[in-house]
Structure formats: C-alpha cells, structure tokens
Chain A
Amino acid sequence: MKKILIAILGIAVVGGGYYLYNQNQTAKMTAMKAMEAQKAAEAKEEAEKVAALAKTKACFIYIGPTGDFGWTYQHDQGRKQIEAELGDAVETAFLESVPESAEAQRPIENFARNGCDIIFTTSFNYMDPTNKAAKKHPNVKFEHATGFKRESDNVSTYSSKFYQGRYVQGQIAAKMSKTGVAGYIASFPIPEVVRGINAFILGAQSVNPDFKLKVVWVSTWFDPPKEADAAKALIDQGVDIITQHTDSTAAMQVASDRGIKAFGQASDMIKFGPKTQLTAIIDDWGPYYVERTKAVIDGTWKQSDTWRGMAEGNVVMAPFTNMPDDVAAMATKTTADITSGAVEPFTGPIMKQDGTVWLKAGEKSDIGTLLGMNFYVKGVDDKLPN
C-alpha cells in the first residue's frame, strides 16, 4: 500500500514538475487563450465562434526569453504592435527559448497544426526546420528572420541591415577609445554576425585607420554569465569599448563596473548602463510584422525576401549618450547619410583580412556577397572560425 502511495506521489512530482516547466514555456500563450475564452463566453456564442474562426493567427518562435531586453524582447514588441494595430482581426501566440536545433521542428509544426496562419521564426538556425515545416503545411505562411533559404512558395525571409548601425558604432568607438582597441563579443560565425564585425571595423577605420578590433566567440546567443566572462577577458586585454552580438545585458553591466563604454545590442540597454551606453542599435520589427500579418488577412501575402535598414525605419539608433557633442554630431550625421543613401558602409576601397583587394575605390558590394559574408576585412584581429 505504502509503495503504491509513494509511486503515485513520485509520478505526481515528476508530472507536476514537467507540467510547470511546460506551463512556464507557454504561460503567456495560455493566458492569452484564457482571455480569448473569456471573451467568447461573454458575447453571444454562435456569432463569436464564427468571428474566432475568421481571426488570423500570427505565431512567433523565439530563441530567448522575451525578457532578455535584447533580440527577443524586440521581436516581442513587434508582436505586441500587431495586436495593437490589427486588434480584433488577429490573435497572436509565441514560444520562448526554443533551441536552435532539430528540436525546433516540433514547436514550429505544432503551431502550424494548431491554427496559426503565419509563423515567424526569429533566429538564423531555425532555417532548415522552418523550410521543412513549410513543405508539410502549404497553407500556412512562414517568415524566417535572417535566413536565405526559401524552398517552397510559402516561405519568406526578412532581415534588417544592422550593419548600418554597426558602422556608426565603429566611428563612435574610434573617437572615444583611448587604447585604440575595441572588443566584440560574437555569437556564431554566420554571415549576419561577420557582416556586423566588418561594418564596425570599417566605420572605426574611417576615423582612425589604425584602429584594432579584438573578437571573442562565445558560441551562444544567450548566457549572461558567459557573456560577462567574455567582456571581462576583453577588458583585461586592453579594450576600452565593448560591443556585442549576443542578446543579454551582461556585457553592459560588466563594462559599467569596469568604468568603460559599451554599445547596446538589439534593444536600448541604457537602464543597465546609464553612464556606459554610447548608443544601441534598436531593431524595430513592428512595421514589417504588421504589414505581413495584414497581407495574410487581405489574402495578398506573397513570398518575398526583405532586407530593410535605417531608411525604412527597421534599424534605429538609440540616443547618443555619454559622449562629447562633436562625436554625437558626427554619429548623427553618419546616421542621416546612411538613411539617405549618401553613405554605404561597404563601399571600396576595402581590402580583405589577408590583404587582397575586395572592392576597388568607389565600388559597392553586391547583395549576394553581403548576405553570404564569410570573410573578414583588414584590421580585424581574429581568425574567423569556420
């Protein structure tokens, strides 16, 4: 008898633990559903049911928690904008901290099966799972961020020209740094990250041709203690400006402790370094998300490959803080020039890291090379992992 009791309790604990774990992952999703249910109950049943069926459902797969105050946070702001602008016509759902592996397949397909009309997968390595799921669910629209594979007609890709912001950051860094060396915390050697590193050093060299950049790869998008370790190591090795292509605010806090300057990533991180943040690249996904969801509602959705930047308002610079007026003025001007198209960061003459010529004077890079960028330009003090 006792044994049976224990067995039941054991199962209850395991089950309870698993339930809580799952519930947490989908807590907000459930809350939203509950609200929906409540609404439905309040109004007249039949009419409401029809309305609910007519609702377009936009679903999101996130790499980190919505509270990372970086990458995922910004995507979630975009999701909220859909709700705010399209109101009753839509319903949204999201899943946080979905690993970037084959495991991502299941949640994406779950969304596709459970009534999502459009699914945004918001990290590079969701590329293959997204395309696989798209083939199985031809009636669902898929939007993959930062990727380049569109294997069936119902997959679109989209990204932002973050590198434009990196160029501005590079210029600021070169003006502000006393040691002439900046540190870059990088996640994975994918084109998007490499492009950012190159744009940063090009911006810096446009101010100080001898500027150096140290790069550290942490092999994660989100691990605050690890990002902090990387920042400490870079600072110990003499960099006095930190920029990052990872999603947490840890590096900003370390820079703040050590009294050096840093750039925010993906989101305005000024709260975590009021005296530290020079500026931040803010990703504004809202307009794109609203536009695409609206296209699904109107039945005008078509496959596309969208790459927007400062001109379209997708890349926004946070206020230029903690710097002298002349540096802020320069940064403001460069931002305006990139927005108007007068300045394009990847314009020759640019040499590759090994000293060979990539772009001749005045020559602009083609989009294909930018999208698949797998080499460093001159001045990066690192060997690109492959």
Chain B
Amino acid sequence: MFGFSLDVWISIIISVCAASTPLLLAATGELIVERSGVLNLGVEGMMIMGAVAGFSAAQLSGSPYVGALIAVFAGAIFSLLFGFLTLTLVANQVATGLALTILGLGLSGMIGEGFVGQPGIKMLPIEIPLLSDIPIIGKILFGQDIIFYTSILLVFAVGWFLFKTKAGLQLRSVGDNHTSAHALGINVIKTRYLAVMFGGACAGLAGAHLSLVYVPQWVEGMTAGRGWIALALVVFSSWRPMRLLVGAYLFGAVTIAQFHVQALGIGIPAQFLTSLPYIATIIVLVIIARNRRMTMINTPASLGKSFVPDR
C-alpha cells in the first residue's frame, strides 16, 4: 500500500504504538478513577509531574527504569493531594482537578529547571526471546519498551478487574451509587483514594514514557495537552477498557498518519491534517453525546459527586 514495504509498515505501526502508549496509560488510570465516581481533571498535571520526576530520577541514577518507577510514585503522591482535598475535605472536584493541572505544569517547570537541555537516557526496547522472532507481529508486539508492554497488559488487567472481580464490582458500585455502597458496608472514601492513586500512578508512568522513551529530554510543558486527550478518550470509550484501547490507538494512528500523508505529497492542506486528531475526537464525542441512553447507562452515576459518610 502506498508503495511502502513491509518493513516500513512495521516501523510506522511502531511509531503509532509510541504515540498511543502515553494516552492509553493515562486514560486507563483515569477510567478507574471515574469508575469510582471521581472526576479528576488533573491528568495533565500528574502526567507532567511524572515526566519531570522520571527524567530527573533517570539522570541522577543513570537508569531509566529507576526513573519510570519514581515517575509512578510521583504521579501517585501528587494525586494524593487531589484525593485529600476532594475526598477528605470534600472540595469541588472540577476546580481541584484544574488546580492540580496548573500546579503540576508550574511545579514541574521549577523542579526540572536544572535538567533542561540535558540529553536523556533512552529506555531501550526489550525483545522478548522467541516471540519477537514471529514474522511481522513479533517486532510490533514483542520488540518494544517495557512501558508499552505495561500499557497493554494494564488495560486488559483493568478490564478483568472491573468486570470479573469482587473488588471491581465494589469499585463500580461506589461510582454508581455511593450511598448504597456505603450502606452495604463498602468503604467509599478508601476505595476512591485507591482509585485516585492508581490514576495518578498511571498518569505518572505516561509522563515517564514521554520523557524517557518518546523524546529522552525534559522541556517545560512537554505533555502539550496529552492529558486532556486522555480525559476525552475516557468519555470516548464510554468507560469501557477495550473501547479505550481502540480509541487510544485510533488517535495515535491519526496522529502519525497526518505526517505520512503530508510526506507523500497528497494535496491535502497540512493545517487540516494536523487538526485531524482533534476533529476526530470532537466527532466521536458528539456521536456519543447524541445517544443519551447509551451515555446514561455507561456513565458512573455518582461521577463528580462528593460523598460525606455522615450526611
């Protein structure tokens, strides 16, 4: 197709995976958060905190894996701030989430100041023996970096957790009706705290993917709005992990395809192509919003509502 050889196609698909991985990771985390009834708009902030923490830890320790681990912790700890304000102090979730994003963007710039302009250590792909020798799909599925593997395994694990385990059922019940869940003896606040921290950890790892795999460097604001796209993807997926996987890869594919279409010299205006991923997101969101019943069934009923046990 388009005169590309098989090797080129494989290379293109690997680029798509790289573009999709941070979105998928951050969105998977946010999906769990929203399933528990909490709307955390701070994904962008947690992601960039992960990016700066991951990069600086990798530079100081010399290992990108240490960096990724620290990024996970940094994201989780940063999300605790959101948890404390919205769950313990019952602050408004939307306002707190926005504040978290702004805080993250500013704080990361200050933390990362000393690391600007340093070439980073790239996390190299790990080829899984035997499996990576399978023609075509071997390279794509089993010849990549560890964060990619994590993102794929995680989305399946989350799907299994939500719909096949008791804990998953409890989490969903908390998100759908926190009063009933509370009456049944489920610890609503604790469940939500764990969900929020999971979301933060995922966003942190997504950030580490940007600063350790995608472009091994730290620059202020390098997430460039990817956290917001992850948020849109959660709605896009109607809170279902498998649809999220499709959505993230669709978005990644459009992101990469725009450059290939341009480089091929097909006479489509470049401005249109660069806006394509965003147009696609808007169209899908409109389609979803039109089907009210679908939205009603899938949206966690308590999404964005605060819970106070003694009220």
Contacts and interface: CB of A to CB of B under 8 A. Distances in A.
B119 A272 contact: yes
Contacts of B296: none
A5 B91 CA distance: 10
Nearest to B257: A233
A220 to B, nearest CB: 8
Contact of A9 (B91, B113, B226, B263): B91
Interface in B80-117: 85, 89-92, 95-96, 98-100, 102-103, 105-107, 109-110, 113, 116-117
Contact of A69 (B107, B117, B264, B275): B117
A10 B119 contact: no
B15 interface: yes
Contacts of A49: none
Contacts of B15: 229, 232-233, 236
A225 B263 contact: no
A349 interface: no
Given A9-B85, A236-B260, 6 more contacts: A9-B91, A21-B103, A96-B220, A226-B224, A227-B215, A228-B214
B92 A10 contact: yes
Contacts of B19: 225, 229
Contacts of B8: 236-237
The 8 closest A-B pairs by CB, nearest first: A67-B116, A233-B259, A17-B103, A217-B270, A21-B106, A20-B106, A17-B102, A24-B109
In this complex, the interface size class of chain A, counting residues with CB under 8 Å from chain B, is 35 or more
A272 B217 CA distance: 9
Interface string A14-26: 1011101111100
Contact of B91 (A6, A235, A381, A382): A6
Contacts of B138: none
Interface in B8-23: 8, 11-12, 15, 18-19
Contact of A237 (B91, B100, B263, B270): B263
B129 interface: no
Given A27-B110, A223-B224, A385-B270, A16 B265 contact: no
Contact of B12 (A20, A24, A217, A236): A236
Contact of B219 (A17, A68, A226, A383): A68
Most buried by B among A66, A69, A224, A227: A224
A215 interface: yes
A248 B224 CA distance: 13
A14 B85 contact: no
Contacts of B269: 385
A18 B255 CA distance: 31
Interface stretch (A249-257, A306-314, A329-337): A249-257
B262 A217 contact: yes
A134 interface: no
A13 B99 contact: yes
B222 A253 contact: no
Interface in A183-225: 183, 189, 214-219, 222-225
A73 B220 CA distance: 13
A236 B6 CA distance: 11
B38 interface: no
A297 to B, nearest CB: 31
B256 interface: yes
A180 interface: no
B119 A237 contact: no
Given A21-B102, A215-B262, A233-B259, A14 B119 contact: no
A382 B271 contact: no
A284 B11 CA distance: 38
Contact of B271 (A234, A250, A385): A385
Nearest to A14: B99
A97 interface: yes
A230 interface: yes
Most buried by A among B109, B269, B271: B109
Contacts of B221: 65, 97
Contact of A6 (B90, B103, B117): B90
Contacts of A237: 4, 8, 260, 263-264
Contact of B107 (A20, A73, A226, A233): A20
B267 interface: yes
B263 A214 contact: yes
A34 to B, nearest CB: 15
B260 A24 contact: no
A233 B263 contact: yes
B117 A21 contact: no
A219 B271 contact: yes
B257 to A, nearest CB: 9
B210 interface: yes
A149 interface: no
A218 B274 contact: yes
Contacts of B274: 217-219
Contacts of B216: 253
Given A13-B85, A237-B264, A224 B219 contact: yes
Contacts of A219: 270-271, 274-275
Given A230-B259, A237-B263, A249 B217 contact: yes
Nearest to A385: B270
Nearest to B118: A271
Given A13-B85, A69-B117, A225-B210, A253 B103 contact: no
